Structure 1
Amino acid sequence: MIMKKLTTIALLCLFVITNVFAQKERLKTRSGSKESAGTISCVFPRIFVGERLVITGDELRRAGNTSVINSLKNIDPSFMVVENLENGSDPNMVPEIQFYGQTGLSNVQPLFIINGFKVPLRRVMNLDLNMIDHVVLIKSAVGKSEYGAEGGQGVVEIYTILPTTGSVNVRYNGNVDIQSADLSSYNLCNMWEKLVGEMFAGYGSFEMGDDGNIIPLDSRYIDLMKRADEGLNTDWLSQPLRESVSHKHSLYVDGIVDKFSYGVNFYFNNTEGVMKESDNRVVDGNLFLSYKFKGVHISNQFGYTENRGHFSPYGSFAQYALMNPYFSPYNADGDLVRYFEDGDFSQANPLWNTTIGTKSKIKGSDISELFKVNWYINSYLMARGGFLYSKLKYKGWEFKPVDHTDFISSDAELRGSYEEARTNREDVGGEFGLDYNRQLGIMGNLTTSLVANFDRSKIDYSMLSLYGMSSSSLEFAGEQPAPIYIPDLTSKVWRVNAIANYSYASRYYFYANYCLQNTSVTSMKSRTNGFWSIGACWAMHNELFLRDLKWIDEFKIRLAIGNVGGDNESITDKIEWQKRHDWNVGTDFSLLNGFVSGRFNYFTAKADHVCAVAGVMFEDENQSVMIDAETESKGFEAFLNFKVLNSANGKYHLNLFAAVTSFKNKMKNASIHVGSESANLFEGSKIPLNALMAHASLGIDPTSGKEIFAAADGSNTFDYEKAAIVDCGDMMPKNIGNFGVNGEFWGIGVSTVFTWDRGSMMFNNTLSSQCDNADEHFNFDKRLTEYGRWKQPGDASYFKSGSSDNQEVYSTRFVQKINRFSLSYLSVYYDFRNAGILKDCFLKDCKLSFSMSDVYTRSQKDRKQYERGTLYPFAKTYSISMLLAF
């Protein structure tokens, strides 16, 4: 297959060379067309023929104002932030991110680069959005291969702003966010509905009156109905929630004085969560200095970030969803109730834990130093070097006093707990490169680079768990055991890249790269491996046969192939390096003086020796289990942009945009290794890489009220068999897209982003746990009473009998296809830049904005509705911001 692709490239090169010498007259580039197929940040601009997306800082801020991650998600559908149905909008959680074309079983997060050096996702989350100049999303082998094994899942290059002309420039950005919890996905019973549900479940004695009303016959329900008539109906979901107010501020001062330039940034972000007492605070400072002397350009960037966060002492939001609405948090004297006694049943009050000193915090700091030198030896040769040092420290701890409700059933000597985890990471990196750029006359332009990189990372990790505390105060924890220290993990990685770029007459572009990587931490057969990529681009709009078509501004065809890498986890030294073969073809176009523009890409990616390791209980022992498989991903993406209005003086413009990504990720020939034993999984067949596996259900037996399963031998059974699980489809969407509009009219601007996805398979845990397997002693989803349980032989019911002894399992009965539609971002603003009042106030610019994030998400109705944010609710965000430039 690879030889066929190489042959295709060779034939294309032969055609281009023949065409080059047949046309002796060098064509002039049209006005408004680009000089190359795209360039990435480099001293000598090099040709980039692969698929990548360059997003300016202004485009990021038009798509969101919370973080660079959310803005990228709203712009490019292939940049997926996996929806976390548990943690919702928790400000202390880090999201899971995937690029399209996933081939890994673990560690599928893309590589993040800031100003040329690798950084963790936490640093990206803490980044000031106003400090970003542009972001480059690298998706094809061309570009990814330069990062070796780490670039296989995609690369996100982030470049911060540089000083602008003027001795002193001052810019301030202020933002106030108001958040409210989004509980639209919850469908819990109120007091009357809960009482009716309990009665139908057989928990009380009652009869039906002549008027159809329920008449209770026992004292408990007589009392509860009386209290319901008096207005008791506790809204437990609102108890841990608040309308939160957050604020962030960014101050940036820069300037250029002769050969010296500087930039100073201070950033403060105080995010208050919608659960009471949860927050995340970021304080960040950066200093940039640069000096040019003859052919030498020296720059230095120093940064310091401090991060502190508090998890809500109100605990898991799921606790409040289980609380019965006929329980009041306070007694008649106004004191908080610790336990609710209801016959033989008791339920703890989760609000109690907020009054006894429960605490859970994280804090960390991040310091970075980046030094770069560029030496322009002459007009075509340059040497460059860089050095990076960074140190990250994080500590998280949780304290639960002895009278915490988690210890209701615990022995006295085990009550009270303190848990702590510490992480220290130190990174040292270096880079040295030589760049050569030469105009070859009629033969075109040649740019080559030889770059060596070195990275050293040291990670220390320790944890401490203490149970059995004699006091409710952390200061009297007693004798603490020594923490458990995980052995230091020190890794050293070096890479050498050889890069060549060639262009001719603004029509033909070629790229080739070879990367040799060596790593000290690996379980592969060899510590050294090579990665490569080649690509070509044909700018057809500069050809003679198209240059007279005035309605074509730009039309390019791109092709890129390569062998890129990926990180593997292994328990043996006999595994090969993960090899991912990428193939990408696409086109870029612009028509009618930019009225219509867009791009289209088709990609395939195949990976061999993809491994993942997990710890499981096997034959009563903890053992490491490794999965080794082949994976395949293929799909396409398309982008369209319409410049509906665009005035020559820039006073008004209106743009419409739309994008869609479709992909399939498959796994085949998977094998599982436990110790010295191996077994094949799904041999000869392909299943989705994110397959949802469940037991085939035939519904509820009308005779017994139990669930009927399809056994592995084809017969029917009431028993759950692990061997009978089936592939129910892909948990990732088949299609993801967005569309929207942005425009400005005489200073008044608007920006909207709608996002959608379709075709993902999901196990509806709400129907399973809150209906089918609900314990009527707790509150439950009202669909349990609407659709009803099986009660007597002959009933055709959706939910099984309440007395059924079936265990809660993944059943196809609750596997559903999910389609989502959201208004993700809406913003309106007024820019005073053309207003005369600015001069009187000594301002260069002033901008006022109002925006909303996560404005609306279409809820699944009826049996497809599911709860979102079970541990921490999702939230809607309303923001007011102001920009001042002096």
Structure 2
Amino acid sequence: MKKDRLLAIIFFISWLGSLSVGAQEVKEKRITMEFKNERLSSAFKRLENVSGYKILFVYEDVNQYTVDGKVKNHTIEQVLKFMVGDKPLKFLIDGQFVNITPQRKEPAKTVEKVKGTVVSVEDGLPVIGASVHVAGTTIGAQTNIDGNFELIKVPGDAMVQFSYVGMETVSLPVSAVMNVRMKADVQTLDDVVVTGYYTQRKQTFTGAATNYSGAELAAISDQNLLSTIAAIDPSFKIVDNIAMGSDPNTVPNIQVRGVNALPTTTSLSEEYKGNSNLPTFILDGFEVSVEKVYDLDPNRVSNISILKDASATAIYGSRASNGVVIIDTKAPAAGKLRLNYYGSMDFEAADLSDYHLLRASDKLKYEDLARLYVGTGAVYVDEEYRRSYNERLKLVQKGYDTDWLAQPLRSLGISHRHSVQLEGGNESFRYGVNLTYNGTSGVMKGSDRTRIGTGIKLQYNYRNLRFRNEITYDKVTANNSPYGSFSDYANMNPYYYPYDENGQLKKILFTIYSPSSGSTTVVNPMYNSTLNTKDRTAYDDFVDNFSVEWDILNNLKLKGNFSLERVNKSTDVFKPADHTDFATVEENKGSYTKGNTVSSSYDGSLVLSYFGQFKKHALSLNGGWNIQQTSDDYSTYTINGFPNQQLDHPAMGAGFLEGSTVKGDATMTRLMGFFGNVNYSFDDRYFVDASIRMDGSSLFGSNQRWGTFWSTGIGWNLHNEAFMKEVSFVDQFRLRMSTGYTGSQSFYPYQALMMYQYQSELAYQDYIGTVIKAFGNSNLKWQRTNKTNFGIDFGFFKNRLSGYFNYFIENSKDLLVDVNMVSYLGFDSYKENLGETQNKGFDFNVKLTAFQNKDWRVNLFVNGQHYNNTLKKISSGLSSFNDKADAAGSTKPYVRYIEGASVNTIWVVPSAGIDPATGNEVFISKDGSYTGTWSEKDYVPYASADPKLSGTFGFNIYYKGFELNTNFYYRFGGYAYNQTLVDKVENVDPYNNVDERALYSRWQTPGVAAMYKRISDRSATKPTSRFVEKDNYLSANSVSLAYTFRTDWIRHFGAQYLKVAVTANDFMRMSTIRREIGTAYPYAHHYSFTAQLTF
């Protein structure tokens, strides 16, 4: 027994010794590990597995911290010291156990006043407007014009965070004096592309995309976002609308890299309608209409990205053929309650410099030369013509010479805009409330557009979850001028006088008598302004956007978005019986047209994103799902018979005209898509990416519901190659190429279906008859565009010279066109996928910092684009369209759809000019012979309206708080048909006023050469090369001067930031074409005075 006890004691002592030796061996074990911004909770678990120690900690105590770096051949104690670092944690090694606990600190003393300066690492210049925030408190400030800041009563153990858009955030422990150097954040400023669903590093992005900050846009203009983007990006083009000029109620038509769709109708009257070439607009992750963007407050915008090629747009699949514009609005900033105010006073002055109309005496002389008063030889007829002439001569001799162009115009259109934003919160919860008012008064009396809006943004962060919700409400009211179309005033003869002897506006200005055609009354276009009329469009727009982000892991994120929108739009046009439209109507005078459209939609998406780096490898994966539904319910009717102008309600009218009834349409479209994207790079030198999307849409035939769209691209960062390190002036030189297919679906929802129309006149007993309205096509499928892009991004001399160049080829196939049908089927045509077009061209942007020191910075920039359009394949319907147009004998050139030609080709009959002997035009037929007869058979593709190059250029100068920004638009190398010249010189009604060239430049004397045919020739001038002119153009988009006040001065008023600016937009135009523009609504110069204030 004693022997057994002794053996047991010896065994126990030996076991204890072995434990001690084992623990010593574990303690002396060498550890090698690598951490990449890894949370401590995860890092401790890995260390536990590698070291053999049991590491004990409370998850909430350590999970907020991360560790980054590498340890090699370290002991457990050395590794723990590296991981804990300066974090408020401590560790204790107890045998094979390690305890991690918070480090308790004694309460720190308060720093009464903290002062400092924030400057840029790159140039040493002060960072103006940087946010300075004390973590965990509501204490904060902004740096002033000199980069200085001041904080009061800051806890002594606090961390102070410094942040600024485009720069890396800096966190430092508080001290009485803090001088901070911030450097540009390549990841957020230059190296991120926002796609709407996710962000990608531009350093390894193969697509063609451009980014612009809200500050860059504000330096150009604050009028409307669309014109501002067009002024800064060469690919984003506003299609010229020389008729509507500066009308605040005309939403512009947009193209990105040209035309990718053909017209969806072959009706001559519908030739210029439809918007199938509009880009897709994404606002805060959700698709919106172009009108929504037009009415958006520019001060809400934080960033805009324009996606152009397949790699950039493929994830939008069927909506991407015409490019995608991503708009992000500002998120509320954390910190104490802050009030931001933006106010503007705007002035508009009509630009009539292109109008050169005849004065009263000259107009009467022109009428005489036009032989308006030459009779047939019959005594009675000749006397009537002489009486008519003398009647007008008497008016001229009385001194009547009315400036009709000035009558409907304001001497100065005055508008004002206001925007107020309240924001605040902390890192866990942020809030923002905004109120906006924009009252725009056009240059024509009575025309205006009023926008009122409000919104609430909330953001809540809980651990690795982020919730955001934004509710917005906008009300827009647009009133058209009661003075009518501006062209009516341009037609008025100057010897007409608008007022009677009592100073009241006349309703009838003049009665024109012709022995051959009888009497014709000339109404006063000003008269309707005295009546109670309506011409108003209004809409209410309610939107709720919700999103949630979940950081599943450090490099794995799940994001969900959902949006609801409802728009109620109404149109009211009221004209009482006394309106001049009814001057010759005998019964049911007066009308009220009322229309209403209710649109509702939802848009949802779910996106899973992963980004990982493994030594020299980087991998980005994104996958998602998207669903949309949009429904529209439209109705309109016209009631006639309103004898009293005060009875301005539809219920007070006499009723429908015979055969008239309520008209309407109800549509619904649905879309669902799945998409994925992968991007891989090696050593930030070589990179590839690929995207795919499958879309299903209700727009297309039952046999072709789904379409697949894809892209792939490769790139090479030459500046990261070893052999380029010696080339010191090269900071960036990237080559990229991409190709892929995108789609288009901007069409009527039910064109693939057999459609029927109810007709009340076919009613029988209790049933209403129907007729087939359109022939369906169950095989109708997606339009597809193959986009190929070759691009270069460059930056030299510390990026003082930077820019990009893209060459692109876009082949659109399966375009929707009309195909003719045999007449006995009862239809003229049906829709089919037959058309093909090609756009080929380039765009570029170059920026240069020409001079820079502590006080001065001078930047120069120029951008441009050029593209050619070619029709590769057309249908029988479009060929028939050409024939119908030829037969109609139009006096205007129209788009001819000819394979191998461009839709922008100008088709005319060649002209040899005006015969000096006779004053008649001489044409050149296709066989080269001269003829005096115009024939549509002699049409030739004479010139292209596409310019050789168009874009913008300008400079920016900064000096001690002053900013001078300029932006000019140029265009050259293209041609245009001067239609307004034709209509005002040759194709004129001599009873209306005309351009002065109709008198002074038309042929009058045999043997004397002239540009225009003889005055007495009143035959219609059809498309001729005489009116094709070079279209070289230069205009001043914007010139602005701004000043940011010093913070120490404005603090006396309790403010933190104050900036004032004066801006001039569209104040200068120079063109090689002399023609009237703004024919229905005049162009205008725009001037504004603005102020931005933060409390």
Establish whether TM, by shorter chain, passes 0.5: yes
Residues 551/677 of structure 1: CA separation in 2 closer, same or farther (3 Å cut): closer
Equivalent residues in 2 for 1:38-53, closer than 5 Å? 38-40=192-194, 45=200, 47-53=204-210
Q: Does 1:498 align with 2:647?
A: no
Amino acid at match of 1:815: V
Return the alpha-carbon distance in structure 2 between the equivalents of residues 76 and 660 of structure 1: 8
1:670 to 859, 862, 874: 874
Runs of 5+ unmatched residues, structure 2:
1-121, 123-182, 264-275, 376-384, 514-519, 752-775, 885-894
Output the CA distance in 2 between the equivalents of 1:791 and 1:504. Answer: 79
Name the structure 1 match of 2:787. 582
Confirm whether residue 605 of structure 1 aligns to residue 810 of structure 2. yes
Q: 1:17 — aligned with what?
A: none
- The Cα of 1:713 is off from its aligned counterpart by 7.2
1:397 is displaced (CA, Å) by 2.1
Q: What secondary structure is seen at the aligned counterpart in 1 of 2:315?
A: helix
When residues 622 and 235 of structure 1 are mapped into structure 2, their CA distance, relative to the original with a 3 A threshold, is farther
Q: Does 1:295 align with 2:435?
A: no
Secondary structure class of the residue paired with 2:327: strand
Q: Which residue is equivalent to 1:9?
A: none
Residue 551 of structure 1 corresponds to which residue in structure 2?
729
Distance change in 2, residues 1:751/1:684 (3 Å) = closer
CA distance in structure 2 between the partners assigned to 1:869 and 1:497 by the alignment: 45
2: CA distance between counterparts of 1:425 and 1:814? Answer: 45
Q: Is the 8 A contact 1:626 1:672 kept in 2?
A: no
Q: Deviations over 1:545-576 (max 9, x none)?
A: 01122211111111111111123756644444
Whether the aligned pair in 2 keeps the contact of 1:38 and 1:49 (CA below 8 Å) is no
Aligned-pair distance for 1:365? 0.7
The residue type equivalent to 1:513 in the other structure is S
Contact kept? 2:977, 2:1029, Cα under 8 Å: yes
Partner residue, 1:3: none
Displacement after TM superposition at 1:675 (Å): 13
- Is 2:738 the partner of 1:537? no
**Structure 1 counterpart of 2:1032:** 819
Do the aligned partners of residues 572 and 735 (structure 1) sit closer, same or farther apart at CA in structure 2, a change above 3 Å counting?
A: farther
Residue number in structure 1 paired with 2:634: 461
When residues 231 and 677 of structure 1 are mapped into structure 2, their CA distance, relative to the original with a 3 A threshold, is closer
Take 1:733 and 1:821, find their aligned partners in 2: how far apart are those partners? 13
Q: Give distance in 2, aligned partners of 1:488 and 1:331.
A: 50
2:972 alignment partner, SS class: strand
Give the whole-Å Cα distance in 2 for the aligned partners of 1:103 and 1:636: 16
Moved more, 775-784 or 305-314: 775-784
**1:291-331 CA distance string (max 9 Å, x none):** 11111111101111000011000000000001111111112
Q: Given the superposition, is the C-alpha separation of residues 219 and 459 from structure 1 closer, same or farther in structure 2, using an over 3 Å criterion?
A: closer
Q: 1:437 aligns with which of 595, 598, 611?
A: 611
2:217 is aligned to 60
Contact 1:701 1:708 in 2 (8 A): yes
CA distance in 2, matches of 1:461, 1:840: 56
On the 8 A contact 2:537/2:570 being kept in 1, the answer is yes
The residue type paired with residue 949 of structure 2 is N
1:646-657 correspondence to structure 2 within 5 Å: 646-647=852-853, 651-657=855-861
Contact 1:185 1:859 in 2 (8 A): no
Q: Which amino acid aligns with 2:433?
A: V
Q: How many residues align?
A: 838
Question: How far apart, CA to CA, are the structure 2 residues paired with 1:785 and 1:202?
Answer: 13
Provide the residue aligned with 2:175 in structure 1: none
Kindly indicate whether residue 447 of structure 2 is the aligned counterpart of residue 244 of structure 1: no
The equivalent position to 2:289 in structure 1, one of 96, 99, 120, is: 120
Confirm or deny: 8 A CA contact 1:626 1:673 kept in the other structure: no
| Alignment check: 8 A CA contact 2:819 2:875 kept | no
Partner amino acid, structure 1, of 2:984: Q
> Is 1:838 matched with 2:838?
no
Q: Partner of 1:5 in structure 2?
A: none
Q: Please state if 1:72 is matched with 2:229.
A: yes
Residue 760 of structure 1: CA displacement? Answer: 3.1
Partner SS state of residue 991, structure 2:
coil
Q: TM-score, normalised by structure 2?
A: 0.72
CA deviation after TM superposition for structure 1 residue 356, in Å: 2.3
Q: Give ranges in structure 1 of 5+ residues lacking alignment.
A: 1-29, 207-216
TM-score by length of 1: 0.89
SS of the residue corresponding to residue 451 of structure 1 reads strand
Cα offset, 1:718, TM superposition: 5.5
The answer as to whether partners of 1:568 and 1:610 remain within 8 angstroms in 2 is: no
The offset of 1:829, in angstroms, is 1.2
Measured after TM superposition, the shift of residue 264 of structure 1 is 1.0
**Counterparts in 2 of 1:201 and 1:119: CA distance versus 1, 3 Å:** same
Q: Distance in 2 between matches of 1:336 and 1:705?
A: 42
Query: Which residue among 380, 398, 402 is the counterpart of 2:555?
Result: 380
Distance 1:268 1:354 in 2: 27
1:227, 1:551 → 2: CA distance?
Answer: 76
Structure 2 contact 507–523 (Cα < 8 Å) conserved: yes
Give the direction of change, closer, same or farther, for the CA distance of 1:572–1:702 in structure 2 (3 Å limit).
farther
Counterparts of residues 466-865 of structure 1 (less than 5 Å): 466-472=639-645, 473-475=647-649, 476-480=652-656, 484-523=662-701, 525-567=703-745, 572-612=777-817, 623=828, 628-647=834-853, 651-673=855-877, 685-700=899-914, 705-709=919-923, 721-789=935-1003, 796-804=1009-1017, 806-832=1019-1045, 834-860=1046-1072, 864-865=1073-1074
Which digits, 9 at most, give the CA deviation of each residue in 1:76-99, with x for residues without a partner? 121111121111111111001111
User: What residue identity is the alignment partner of 2:871?
Assistant: M
For 1:453, give the aligned amino acid: N
**Larger CA Rg, structure 1 vs 2:** 2
Once the two structures are overlaid, the 10-residue window that deviates more, 357-366 or 701-710, is 701-710
**Retained in 2: the 8 A contact 1:751–1:827?**
yes
Question: Does the CA contact (< 8 Å) of 1:471 and 1:477 recur in 2?
Answer: no
- Structure 2 counterpart of 1:241, one-letter code: L
Displacement after TM superposition at 1:157 (Å): 0.1
- Whole-Å separation in 2 of the counterparts to 1:829 and 1:836: 19
- Backbone CA RMSD of aligned residues: 3.1
SS across alignment from 1:142: helix
Q: Cα distance 1:573–1:800, how it changes in 2: closer, same or farther (>3 A)? A: farther
Q: How does 1:236-385 map to 2 (within 5 A)?
A: 236-242=404-410, 243-341=412-510, 344=513, 346-385=521-560
Query: Separation in 1 of the partners of 2:570 and 2:919?
Result: 51
- Cα distance in structure 2, aligned partners of 1:857 and 1:169: 42
TM-superposition CA deviations, 1:135-186 (whole Å, max 9, x none): 0011111121111111110010000011223121211000010101010111
Alpha-carbon deviation of 1:840?
1.5
1:667–1:687 Cα contact (<8 Å) kept? yes
Q: Measured at CA, do residues 679 and 195 of structure 1 come closer, stay the same or move farther in structure 2, by a change above 3 Å? A: closer
Q: Deviations over 1:188-247 (max 9, x none)?
A: 0112221221232234589xxxxxxxxxx9676667566546643210000000011000
Whether the aligned pair in 2 keeps the contact of 1:604 and 1:634 (CA below 8 Å) is yes
Counterpart contact for 1:631–1:689, Cα < 8 Å: no
Q: CA deviation at 1:402?
A: 2.0
Q: 1:405-440 CA deviation, whole Å, 9 max, x = no partner?
A: 223334x12532222322221111111122222222
Q: CA deviation at 1:392?
A: 1.1
> What is residue 417 of structure 1 aligned with on the other side?
591
Q: CA separation in 2, counterparts of 1:420 and 1:752?
A: 44
Closer, same or farther in 2 for the Cα pair 1:474/1:68, shift >3 Å?
same
Query: Which of 262, 265, 280 does residue 111 from structure 1 map onto?
Result: 280
Q: 1:447 deviation in Å?
A: 1.4
CA contact (8 A) 1:672 1:679 kept: no
Tell which has more relative contact order, 1 or 2 (C-alpha 8 A, sep 6+): 1
User: Could you tell me how far apart the structure 1 residues matched to 2:219 and 2:829 are?
Assistant: 47
CA distance, structure 2, for counterparts of residue 427 and residue 534 of structure 1: 32
State the AA in 1 paired with 2:1078: G
Offset, 1:539: 1.3
Tell me: CA distance 1:363–1:679, structure 2 relative to 1, closer, same or farther (3 Å): closer
Q: 1:96 to 1:524 in 2, by over 3 A?
A: farther
